[in-house]
Amino acid sequence: MGETRACNSKMARERVHDEEEFLVGEKMRGGKAMAAHVSVGWWLVVAACLSCAAAERVGDPESQQQLEVRRHLKRFNKTPVKSIKSPDGDIIDCVHISHQPAFDHPFLKNHTIQMRPSFHPEKLLDDGKATSQKEAMVQQWHQNGRCPEDTIPIRRTTMNDVLRASSVKRYGRKKHKDIPNPLSFDPNLLNENNGHQHAIAYAEGEKYYGAKATINVWQPKVQESNEFSLSQLWILGGSFGEDLNSIEVGWQVSPDLYGDNYTRLFTYWTDPKEGHWWMQFGRDYVLGYWPSFLFSYLADSASMIQWGGEAVNSEPDGVHTATEMGSGHFAEEGYSKASYFRNIQIVDGSNNLRAPTRVGSFTEQSNCYNVQNGNNGEWGQYFYYGGPGRSSTCP
């Protein structure tokens, strides 16, 4: 169903392992329009234009590729109300909420933005941690300003961002077959998965209307520029073929997509009344929604939830990549070393936020990246995951 775009933000902290809480899929009514917009199944950074000085010089001929890139940038990027230069080099464009790129989607041409949700899943806010003070959500570019009211921040995409992709049309896209199917895995077909490897926990067998987890955030090393490492939630509907619907959210390091090795966050959550998939960060920030009519199999509910990590192994020099997943440590190394998801929960058909009935685990090569589930009173359902990639156990 066309392209998917996801807002991304660079980690504002210097620490290497923070926690962030993500809620995806609460069924609600109302809410802000998407600060980021994901249609179905692929990743694409929200875009904006940066003119190329060489292409602007009078008399310089532009290649066909440059012309195509410029057309894409013109389509991606909307005229900002204000632009902010981040200390890390990003340009953040503050785009009026009614002019955001989401409305280029043909299904959203006459869409009326819903400004606030009317209710949350039961027990979402009843966790004994309520405070009267709203927790600040700080990003690095906030050092140089904030976006005005009724605008949304969008990282500006440059010509170089697009040119790093294998083709202009492939920029930022992710194939459905890269999504792991833990119920049907053939080890003999490992090399046919474009090098994508996973270490995940999953829930299936019910109808799901949302998912939530607290994620440990690190900055894994990525060996090759065409590889990435991420940790996220998957909300899935349909079969693991061309008809698969997915919404995905978490953090990732992707030099090819962003041109750097920073850890970037992005997130989300659906609505028993209206079916919209809402996106929330922490306790206080409802960031937007994906209208239910954009989806086929996710229009009502999801059939599988996945939490965990993914890394790309491009097999440089014919050996396994040294790209790390999670913190770069194996699951059995535990707290303070291994990366984790804790308090993993789902939203059921009664709009209750609760632990999944059953949690499975899956990895393609446990000698390279692995996962271990657990359960206790403080962390609820949790798991450690990750690994170093190439090592003595993963040649």
The shares of helix, strand and coil residues in the chain, as percent rounded to the nearest 5, are 15, 30, 55
Instruction: Output phi, psi for 91, to 5 deg.
Output: -105, 125
Tokens 């993914």: give the residue: 310
Using only C-alpha atoms, the chain has a radius of gyration, in whole angstroms, of 20
Q: Is 62 a catalytic residue?
A: no
Tokens of 149: 């009211």
Gap between the Cα atoms of 220 and 255, Å rounded: 12
What stretch of H or E contains 256? helix 255-258
Gap between the Cα atoms of 311 and 295, Å rounded: 27
Candidates 26, 310, 324, 364; catalytic one: 310
* Cβ–Cβ < 8 Å for 172, 42: yes
Instruction: Output phi, psi for 142, to 5 deg.
Output: -65, -20
Q: Is 248 a catalytic residue?
A: yes
Cα 272-277-279 angle, rounded to 5 deg:
125
Residue 55, Cβ density class (10 Å: 0-12 exposed, 13-18 middle, ≥19 buried): middle
DSSP state of 73: H
The two beta strands, 277-281 and 18-24, are antiparallel
What stretch of H or E contains 230? strand 229-237
Candidates 26, 248, 324, 364; catalytic one: 248
Gap between the Cα atoms of 322 and 289, Å rounded: 36
CA dihedral 242, 243, 249, 250 (to 10 degrees): -40
Report the greatest alpha carbon distance in the chain: 69
Tokens of 343: 């308090």
* 188 three-state secondary structure: helix
Gap between the Cα atoms of 124 and 377, Å rounded: 17
Q: Cite the active site residues.
A: 248, 310
